[in-house]
Amino acid sequence: MPRSLTGPRRRRLAARLVAAALLVGSVLPAFGIDPQTPAAGPAEPPALTLTVAAAEGPRGLDAALRIVLLMTVISLAPALLVTLTSFTRIAIVLGFLRQALGTSQAPANQVIIGLALFLTLIIMGPVLTRINDDALQPLLAGQLDERQALAAAEGPLKEFMLGQTREKDIALFLELTGRQAPDTPEQLPMLVVVPSYVISELKTAFQMGFVLFIPFLIIDMVVASVLMSMGMMMLPPVLISLPFKILLFVLVDGWWLVVRSLVASFQ
């Protein structure tokens, strides 16, 4: 059992408590705390409000629409690159060339795509220049609105695509869309021109790929016949023909011929 506090001990304890209270009261104001005011509760987090304000006149609405249209064009950029430019034919032909050589990983996909992009810029350079002069710069200068600029940009692009499109493909999509043939090709809608151009490009690319396969196929057949005549049927012919195909391609400067043929096919 604890011993009970006697009179002197009780007085000393009370004096110590009073001294401690005085010390705390003198220290708290130094920290900006008022001992007379009760302690505040936990601070509430700031409120977050979200408001949608109306556009300030036509200009504010035009700016918002331009931002939306810009984001839409950026999201559709890969599809536009494939369907409206020469990229499709170039990428397919380079892919066929790699398969004909028998090198599944050389050149890599990044190299083929990069080369196809730069060749596309070279081929589409005059078209992009006309679009910039006739549509983009007048739009930025305020001389044309968005609809007029879009119509001005369609002209050079449609002229390029129609130069690579077969009439048979155009007639097919005119039939599928239930439209009548216009008086001039320039009056064809983009809904007909774009898919007609794409399937024409696919056919041309496959034709060029077939021509590229012929010399390498002959090398494979010759090597396979020699190996069979020698009784080496267990040896894969591809293993022997691959160095000869690479040697033939290097001796004739194959990359120069392929790139030159691709660019010339659009002129």
DSSP secondary structure letters along the chain: -PPPP-HHHHHHHHHHHHHHHHHHHHHGGGGT--TTSPPP-PPPPPP-----PPPSHHHHHHHHHHHHHHHHHHHTHHHHHHHHSTHHHHHHHHHHHHHHHT-SSSS-HHHHHHHHHHHHHHHTHHHHHHHIIIIIHHHHTTSS-HHHHHHHHHHHHHHHHHHT--HHHHHHHHHHHT----SSGGGS-HHHHHHHHHHHHHHHHHHHHHHHHHHHHHHHHHHHHHHHHTT-TTS-HHHHHHHHHHHHHHHTTHHHHHHHHHHHTT-
Tell whether 198 is covered by a domain.
yes
pLDDT at 202: 92
Per the document, the length of the chain is: 267
Q: Is residue 130 part of a domain?
A: yes
CA dihedral 167, 170, 172, 174 (to 10 degrees): -130
pLDDT band at 223 (very low <50, low <70, confident <90, very high): confident
- Segment 10-45, tens digit of pLDDT: 667 666 666 666 555 554 555 455 555 554 445 555
More confident residue, 262 or 181: 262
**21 found inside a domain:** no
Predicted pLDDT at 63: 65
Instruction: For CA atoms 65, 67, 71, 73, give the dihedral sign.
Output: positive
Domain annotation covers residue 49: no
C-alpha span between 218 and 227 (Å, rounded): 14
pLDDT band at 236 (very low <50, low <70, confident <90, very high): confident
C-beta separation of 181 from 196 below 8 A:
no
- Long-range contacts: 18-26, Cβ < 8 Å, 24+? none
**Number of domains into which the chain is organized:** 1
The answer to whether residue 219 is domain-embedded is: no
Q: For residue 73, is it within any domain? A: yes
Establish if 43 belongs to a structural domain: no
The pLDDT value recorded for residue 20 is 62
Angle between the N-to-C axes of helices 254-264 and 109-123, in degrees from 0 to 180, rounded to the nearest 10: 40
Give the whole-angstrom CA distance, residue 222 versus residue 213: 14
Q: What is the CA radius of gyration of the chain?
A: 39
Q: pLDDT tens-digit profile of 57-91?
A: 444 446 666 677 777 767 777 777 788 888 889 99
Contact 75, 191 (CB under 8 A): no
CA distance 108 to 95: 10
Judge whether 78 lies within some domain.
yes
Mean residue pLDDT across the chain: 77
State the residue range of the domain holding 133.
63-180+189-212+254-264
